[in-house]
Structure 1
């Protein structure tokens, strides 16, 4: 599913996509579980993340287990995937846009409802940390492009080339036809969105991505946009999204899911309604993927998607679990 390229028809072929390591998509060493309703057991701390990013949730859990706060856990977890050169959808080693430039989007949100984000940022490997700096050290909530990069450097982040040999080869292969046809779930992972509740019951969230593979220069998806890719309300819970960002943006999906939980829906019910809003308004929903994850203040979680193949990594009670999401369109 090439970063946000878990998007278009699975039958579409012809894109030269970078293959990721099986360790990112395998759940051999995690307990696999089918989840269609919210967890019945209420336990915190807990961390959940889109896809089987087990190394990321492990890093976040280690912070929580030691009594750390949820914001530190989110940053630690997301940084793991940003640093993984085998992950071509997030951070360093992300697939470039059509012009060969790696541009990164990320946001972070804390228990007070404060928010920081960067979009279209180049040459900085850890956008989640820059987003936190924007939140904590500036009067703004979102910085873009060269301004975001300049701010990052002023805060001590180092410029580096985010392209590697594999992503360059894949981009060169793509240019032979220059077809823009993202593929649903082709790599079985995508953007990482993460939600965590610490021992004090406080929730934070983060989302980080390199966006759609071979996107138009300047394209920004949902991941760094508050209320779309991520939303946190410490009195209710949080939600995060992955998939076709344009569709999540149109429905302000994560905010919708949190508001539904405020009204009494379970995280599972809220995620299902979030997907329903998309499929009932867009007749082309079979051609793209969207997946949601939600977590309420009691530590109950839910996940739902359009197409089968999506799942989440969860760490709770010292145990890591892969949770396969139910879907609107069932897998054949």
Structure 2
């Protein structure tokens, strides 16, 4: 009997130590922070400003807002904010959303005359009981919050619109005119995630069209216990799969950021693969998990993203893709 008790005692002790060692190994997994990742080459400039905030102890929320505002204010980025390509009626309409580590989020859609919709979205999050404001209501709210009306249609974008009017042919051109939404994800020194997404939407769209960018779960989603994801590309395809939310859920179940992005892109491809005009479709995702691991994947070549960490200088990387 004593012999059996002794064996049982050693089994218990061994199991406890094995469990403790396993837990210890998990706890020792290196967490990379801070990290900032954003879409397209204008993400390089956005990352620079966001990074300055992150390394000085500011929140991921502040970083992503300040970061994407660089594209909103740049008239040469003709798919975001000031100078964005107009809709088919010649009006620049903007969409944006923002989300913090506590699952608070704010969004504006079909907003006109305001250069920084991302900051209006943050005000929606922080100053109202709502998540999304649209159109005239969003404009009224922005003006009440102290934002100023501005002319957003620049001469450069107006000229492009007038040239388009000659044939009025709505056919998106991938990676060039319709898909340069800027999305940004950040992990700060406190281990908290935030994300932002802002765009002027598809060029020459129908007046009133809203894509994925202001929709929480489509253009942007995060869970502070798991990770964050954001999208760029043809919004209708991303909305149909709740793209960013699905990327986060796949990371929850153990997928790496890149593998999670890849699976959602493949779901989108499955929906559209028999479409007669597949050549116009591009979608891409970026993802960042709680450990600071990042990844991306897109449907076809041409999508790139910018990343910065303490060990990696701000770099532009080409995403892996499905269609060769």
- Compute the displacement of 1:187 (Å): 5.9
Equivalent-residue separation in structure 2 for 1:274 and 1:286 (angstroms): 18
Q: Deviations over 1:277-327 (max 9, x none)?
A: 101122234431000000000000110001101111011116111111010
Equivalent-residue separation in structure 2 for 1:189 and 1:50 (angstroms): 10
Which consecutive residues of structure 2, in runs of 5 or more, have no partner in the other structure?
1-28
* 2:262 alignment partner in structure 1: 272
**2:186 equivalent among 196, 199, 203:** 196
Equivalent-residue separation in structure 2 for 1:194 and 1:214 (angstroms): 25
Structure number having the greater helix percentage: 2
Equivalent-residue separation in structure 2 for 1:188 and 1:95 (angstroms): 9
Q: Secondary structure at the match of 2:320?
A: strand
Q: Secondary structure at the match of 2:265?
A: helix
Which consecutive residues of structure 1, in runs of 5 or more, have no partner in the other structure?
1-39
**2:298 equivalent among 281, 297, 305:** 305
- Compute the displacement of 1:186 (Å): 2.7
Q: Secondary structure at the match of 1:86?
A: coil
* 2:287 alignment partner in structure 1: 294
* 1:328 alignment partner in structure 2: 322
Tell whether the 8 Å contact from 1:41 to 1:300 is kept in structure 2 after alignment: no
For residues 199-210 of structure 1, the aligned pairs below 5 Å read: 199-210=189-200
Does residue 167 of structure 2 align to residue 173 of structure 1? no
Does residue 106 of structure 2 align to residue 116 of structure 1? yes
Matched pairs, number: 291
Q: Secondary structure at the match of 2:215?
A: coil
Q: Secondary structure at the match of 2:86?
A: coil
Equivalent-residue separation in structure 2 for 1:286 and 1:125 (angstroms): 32
- Closer/same/farther in 2, CA of residues 274 and 177 from structure 1, 3 Å limit: same
RMSD across aligned C-alpha pairs, in angstroms?
A: 1.3
For residues 1-332 of structure 1, the aligned pairs below 5 Å read: 42-52=31-41, 53-186=43-176, 190-282=180-272, 283-284=274-275, 285-317=278-310, 319-330=313-324
Q: Deviations over 1:184-224 (max 9, x none)?
A: 11369600010000000000000000000000000000000
Equivalent-residue separation in structure 1 for 2:280 and 2:171 (angstroms): 10
- Compute the displacement of 1:41 (Å): 7.3
Tell whether the 8 Å contact from 2:258 to 2:297 is kept in structure 1 after alignment: yes
Tell whether the 8 Å contact from 2:108 to 2:214 is kept in structure 1 after alignment: yes
Normalising by structure 1, report the TM-score. 0.86
Normalising by structure 2, report the TM-score. 0.88
- Compute the displacement of 1:54 (Å): 0.7
Q: Secondary structure at the match of 2:306?
A: strand
Q: Secondary structure at the match of 2:102?
A: coil
Tell whether the 8 Å contact from 1:90 to 1:191 is kept in structure 2 after alignment: yes
Tell whether the 8 Å contact from 1:240 to 1:254 is kept in structure 2 after alignment: yes
Equivalent-residue separation in structure 2 for 1:268 and 1:136 (angstroms): 32
Equivalent-residue separation in structure 2 for 1:159 and 1:325 (angstroms): 37
